[in-house]
Structure 1
């Protein structure tokens, strides 16, 4: 009979606890070669040590059990590598989200932003080439990147001649209910017919905005949003309607430096034109 290891010895060899090994057996991720029918003791083959070490490393990377099962049973190295690469991409996204949250919280503890100036601005109707869709909030990052790339292509191929900086329009429902309207646009001097893809021409209506400018990375933009919200509430001028962003420098996202104007729809009540907060 082939020599086998007790669960104690196998635990020492793999640094996996008995509780963990019992769970892996239960979910059929790492099945013992033999279970004593009388006392239920589990025994493992020495050849299973490598598999156990692989599983341990994957779990240290927070890989879900189902993904690990897929990796171990992948029909080819290519399929296995796709699963691992997918998990690494998810980990990188989580790390970026964690880094951004840390910077944001540190900014709350140790504010370093200059006072936020809020001004009133009246926007006239504006022709734009726009990509406008209803999306889930969880898909916002991927949607934003894809739409921006599509607008880049229109400018690069001379199908669109910009008349100003790009902008975004974000419906309240997108954040309130995690499902709502999102739009990215390029101002134009006139309507642009027969555009490829998702883009089309549209005339944005006139709007009154309270505007504040954010300079830096996305890690600190919510501080400016917060100050702008405080301002319109104190003034009693907030109106229902989408937030409008204007991207003056760079492309917002992640750790990239950019300059973004944030416009909050307001009523036209009389009040000081600007305030530093």
Structure 2
């Protein structure tokens, strides 16, 4: 046997990867042994494959998927370094989100959501809105909204449209790091004035009916993600506890927006359309 080859047991000790993991990476094409005994099926690896195995072990410890590991091993060092830096940035963003979620939950446990977010009801009139829609998750939400409102205001300026209220976003489902939802960037305008024309793909005009809205406002850091989730939860809890029904997608209204997330000058309103309980719910 070639002295440059290591049996799988010794290679496992040198690389820090279990024999089971080595067999799995062989099957996936991530780390293929140099020689497989045709009789015993025993695997042998070159000594210079130890370094590669150690890199694989480190990448998998970072929860990088096997398919991505295989791609990165085939790339150059610069691409691998760039991927690691991006992974670190994503991990830091995730940690920031987790830290905010924990602090928000601790606040609600100690103070109660009702103490943190005061919920009121107001009447929202009928509105004609210019809408740019897409299905996104939270990681793509900021970029989508920035592009969407740039396009919406460009179309509005050609009218020019007369705005009747602040811009707002409608969420048709849960939009977080694990779930996509239909998201609408909305701009209300006067239905008796100039009307938009030559709308690009993905943009439309919609009519919203008059409706009651359960609302709360958040400012500064509380208007950033994930702290703002506490405001959504507070309104949703208030609606259910007071016996109302949810009558449409929740809205995030830009009462004051500097353009920079977490800016102390930001003020957002979370407004949920509500209806009276149905007969079935009352009974």
TM range (shorter): 0.7 to 0.9
CA RMSD in angstroms comes to 3.9
Q: How many residues align?
A: 262
Q: Structure 2 matches for 1:31-50, cutoff 5 A? A: 31-37=32-38, 40-50=41-51
Instruction: Please list the CA deviations of residues 213-271 of structure 1 after superposition, one character each: whole Å capped at 9, or x if unmatched.
Output: 133122232322233233333433334322232122338998666422122223479xx
User: Quick check: 1:261 aligned with 2:269?
Assistant: yes
Find the residue that maps to 2:226 and give its secondary structure.
helix
Q: Identify if the C-alpha distance between structure 1 residues 43 and 185 changes in structure 2 by more than 3 Å, giving closer, same or farther.
A: same
Measured after TM superposition, the shift of residue 45 of structure 1 is 0.9
Closer, same or farther: CA 63–268 of 1 in aligned 2, 3 Å = closer
Give CA deviations for 1:174-208 in whole Å, capped at 9, x if unaligned.
349x7875322122234432154233344432221
Check the 8 A contact 1:128/1:188 in 2, yes or no: yes
Q: How does 1:86-97 map to 2 (within 5 A)?
A: 94-95=94-95, 97=97
After the TM superposition, which residues 96-135 of structure 1 pair with which residues of structure 2 at under 5 Å, given as runs? Answer: 97-111=97-111, 114-132=115-133, 135=135
Structure 1 residue ranges without an equivalent (≥5):
270-277
Contact 1:238 1:264 in 2 (8 A): no
Task: Give how far 1:119 is off.
Answer: 2.0
Q: Residue 216 of structure 2 aligns with which residue?
A: 212
SS of the residue 2:183 aligns to: strand
Distance 1:53 1:142 in 2: 33
Give the counterpart of 1:243 among 244, 247, 250.
250
Q: After alignment, is 87-96 or 1-10 more displaced?
A: 87-96
Question: Which ranges of structure 2 fall in alignment gaps of 5 or more residues?
Answer: 278-283
- Shift in CA distance, 199/118, structure 1 to aligned 2, threshold 3 Å: same
Q: Which residue of 1 aligns with 2:234?
A: 227
**For residues 160-239 of structure 1, what are the structure 2 equivalents within 5 Å?**
162-171=163-172, 174-175=173-174, 181-189=182-190, 190-197=193-200, 198-215=202-219, 216=222, 217-239=224-246
Q: What corresponds to 1:14 in structure 2?
A: 15
**What does the per-residue CA deviation read over 1:54-109, in whole Å, with 9 as the maximum and x for residues that have no partner?**
212211221211222223345x7788788778866765665455444434443344
Contact 1:241/1:265 (<8 A) preserved: yes
Given the alignment of the two structures, is residue 149 of structure 1 paired with residue 147 of structure 2, yes or no? Answer: yes
- Higher mean alpha-carbon deviation, 108-117 vs 118-127, is at 108-117
Distance in 2 (alpha carbons) for counterparts of 1:181 and 1:3: 57
Measured at CA, do residues 237 and 3 of structure 1 come closer, stay the same or move farther in structure 2, by a change above 3 Å?
A: closer
Could you say if the C-alpha distance between residues 213 and 50 of structure 1 is closer, same or farther in structure 2, counting changes exceeding 3 Å? same
Once structures 1 and 2 are overlaid, which stretch shifts more, 86-95 or 211-220?
Answer: 86-95
Cα distance in 2, alignment partners of residues 123 and 115 from structure 1: 24
Q: Is the 8 A contact 1:219 1:255 kept in 2?
A: no
Residues 1:180 and 1:87: Cα distance change in structure 2 (over 3 Å): closer
